[in-house]
Amino acid sequence: MVPSRQNLTIKPRKTLRNVIIGLALLGVGAVAYAGYLLHQADKALENMSVAPPVKTTQQGFNGLVGSTENFKPMTFLLTGIDNREGSGGSLNTDVLMLVSLNPETRSATVVSIPRDLEMKPKEFGLSSQKANYYYAYYYIQDKDTAIQKTKELYGNMFNVPIDYMAAINFDGFRNVVDELGGIEMNVDMDMRYVDDEDGTDINLKKGFQTLNGKQMLDFLRYRKSNRGTEESSDLARNQRQQEVLDKLLQKMTSFSGITQWSGLLKIAGESVKTDIPSDELRRFVLSFQKLKPDHIEFIHLDGRWDSPFIVVKEDELTAAIASLRTQRGLPAEIPGTTVTGSTYSLYSKRFGIDPTPVKIKEKETGTMIKNSRSR
């Protein structure tokens, strides 16, 4: 039977209508999914922020698109918290970085603080401890004020106003690396260490390779060996931390929209705590490519081991603080001090530091001799 002309006309119309309906449903689905991602991202940022809520007319990410200007120089305290299962829930900050960022010059200074650096905050009413002690101390007292008090202490000790602090737990860091598909790193040495009590099993070979989240955490944490490989210093660990931070920033710079951020933000919402207000966090995410510095100065505070502390050098500590202050838009030297005089006295009280040898010219012979200020 030959189909009528009417049937031939109706069929294409039905097909066209079905295509239009299908496209409409896809469009609605895409819009709904995008809305879901935005909602989830907003929720994650609110979970991250411990700052008091601020009344605002902005409506999440949608209300902040384009609000990416007028960032001023700022300083952050970035910390990595060891709360892995088996670690005893110590909450010690085994990663400590002071970061001064200048969006106007697209530059930043990153100073890694040795976890075993001696801090002597007697003038602030606290006992001498390792640098990684104080966040846990404040958290046990009151978890709601721990970030604020830790930020203030480090700002006072290093004479750099700290705008914000962020704390990420080790499990969250591992998940972030996995979400990014791993990071290619140059592992600087063979690393082997096993601890049956906390489940640590570090087994890395020297050379370029893509590390997953677990391997990257092992790469950052490695110090001791009990399986025949060489041991690592705190200085080497700090250098690895800065290399990893640089790699993470490079990878996240390629993100082009909120859909690419959604997975990371979900992880961050579960594993990061910060006193950055949620609206400011949204601005940071939307402005990430503009905020990422083109030039980063990484500073490693070297020192000697004087059990149980790391003793840093006076000239390196003062230079690091001066760089942070300059990047922040402040005078390099602290008002009322000099690098060779009262600055040393100040830092000698606050840290266990080695004085810089001073060269003094002998009037009679014209030769140069070295003299050191007593600790």
Q: Which superfamily does CATH assign the domain made up of 74-332+342-351 to?
A: LCP protein (3.40.630.190)
Per-domain residue ranges for the chain?
Answer: 74-332+342-351
Average pLDDT over residues 71-82: 92
Query: Is 193 within 8 Å of 220 (Cβ atoms)?
Result: no
Q: Token pair of 375, please?
A: 């600790």
**Integer Cα distance of 373 and 61 in angstroms:** 56
3-state secondary structure of 119: strand
Residue 67 vs residues 71, 250, 357: alpha-carbon distances, Å: 10, 23, 50
pLDDT score at 62: 53
Percent pLDDT > 90 in the chain is: 42
The more confidently predicted of residues 371 and 323 is 323
Look at residue 28 and tell me whether its pLDDT is greater than 90.
no
Average pLDDT over residues 72-80: 94
85 phi/psi in degrees, rounded to 5: -60, 130
How far apart CA 356 and CA 368 sit, in angstroms, is 15
Question: Which of 374 and 108 is assigned the larger pLDDT?
Answer: 108
Residue type present at position 298: F
Alpha carbons 185 and 244: distance in angstroms, whole number: 8
The number of residues making up the chain comes to 375
Mean pLDDT is lowest, of 110-119, 300-309, 321-330, for 300-309
- Arithmetic mean of pLDDT, 29-57: 66
User: Tokens standing for 152?
Assistant: 């203030």
Greater model confidence, 37 or 353: 353
Specify the pLDDT at position 362. 45
Backbone angles phi, psi at 163, to 5 degrees: -75, -45
Q: Are residues 312 and 353 in contact, defined by beta-carbon separation less than 8 angstroms?
A: yes
Residue 344 pLDDT grade (very low, low, confident, very high; cuts 50, 70, 90): confident
Q: State mean pLDDT over 355-370.
A: 51
Confidence at residue 53, expressed as pLDDT on a 0 to 100 scale: 66
Scanning the chain, the segments in alpha helix (DSSP H) are 5-48, 60-64, 134-141, 146-158, 170-179, 213-221, 234-253, 258-271, 278-286, 288-291, 314-327, 342-350
If you write DSSP's letter for every residue of 64-107 in order, what string do you get? Answer: HTT----PPPEEEEEEEE---TTTTS---EEEEEEEEEETTTTE
Mean pLDDT of 208-231: 90
